[in-house]
Amino acid sequence: MFERLDTIRTHVIEDVRTALAKDPAAQSTLEVALLYPGVHAVWLYRIAHVLWETDHRLVARVLSELAGFLTGVEIHPAATIGDRLFIDHGTGVVIGETAEIGDDVLLYHGVTLGGKSMRREKRHPTVEDCATVGANATLIGPITVGEGATIGAGAVVSEDVPANATVAGNPAEIIEQQPDVRKTDEDRAEAIESESSHWLADC
């Protein structure tokens, strides 16, 4: 267990660098380390996940609940999360037990990766590398959000989303399908903003 905990040091540095790269409001390493609850939530998850994987499950759950209380972000310690996850703002984010998140994923506040089954099986979403999920989006069930996909703010997603697609609305619909080229963070942020305006105007 201690060897695995040692790798968290690398993640701590990497997570701070990710926040600095993805949030234009971030001014310094110290600011991110002290004042970013989304970053704190990811750090505490990484510790809790190691505890969970090494059969210290009650301690892992206690730590997860404490993290939720302190940060407003609820991440089950059994969830699988890759490198450089950035949770912007963070309040209201919920990530369920069987959720899987790839590398370089961006989540905004209020995102739910929820289940729709009470069975002990894969019941939460998989979000692949470089995907972006906008504020207050809800992803339900064992669906897959493909690499580089963008989920608009407030979207309700219950079906698979293709790689490099942009979806929005309730229920979510594909409004753009990009070729197999990774979007930049700026591209994804602009897409989220424009999608939110479009769908709010239709309400």
The encoded tokens of residue 40 equal 């704190």
pLDDT tens figures, 56-73: 999 999 999 999 999 999
Whole-number Å distance between alpha carbons of 124 and 144: 9
21 vs 119, higher pLDDT:
21
What is the fold of 2-202? Answer: UDP N-Acetylglucosamine Acyltransferase; domain 1 (2.160.10)
Contact status, residue 77 vs residue 48, Cβ threshold 8 Å: yes
Give the predicted TM-score (pTM) of the model: 0.83
pLDDT tens figures, 109-136: 999 999 987 788 899 999 999 999 999 9
**Helix 37-53 / helix 2-22 crossing angle, nearest 10 deg:** 160
Q: How confident is the model at residue 53 (pLDDT cuts 50, 70, 90)?
A: very high
Residue spans of the domains in the chain: they are 2-202
pLDDT exceeds cutoff 70 at 193: no
Whole-number Å distance between alpha carbons of 163 and 146: 4
Residue found by looking up tokens 């594909």 in the block: 174
From residue 120, give the alpha-carbon distance in Å to each of 9, 13, 62, 67.
32, 35, 21, 24
Instruction: Give me the residues paired with residue 139 across strands.
Output: 113, 157
Cα of first residue to Cα of last residue in the chain, in angstroms, is 51
Q: Determine the length of the chain.
A: 203
The string over 38-63, giving b where at least 16 C-beta atoms fall within 10 Å of a residue's C-beta and e elsewhere, is bbbbbbbbbbbbbbbeeebeeebbeb
pLDDT tens figures, 170-191: 999 999 888 875 556 666 566 5
The encoded tokens of residue 64 equal 């997860």
Q: How confident is the model at residue 198 (pLDDT cuts 50, 70, 90)?
A: very low
Q: Above pLDDT 70, what percent of the chain?
A: 86
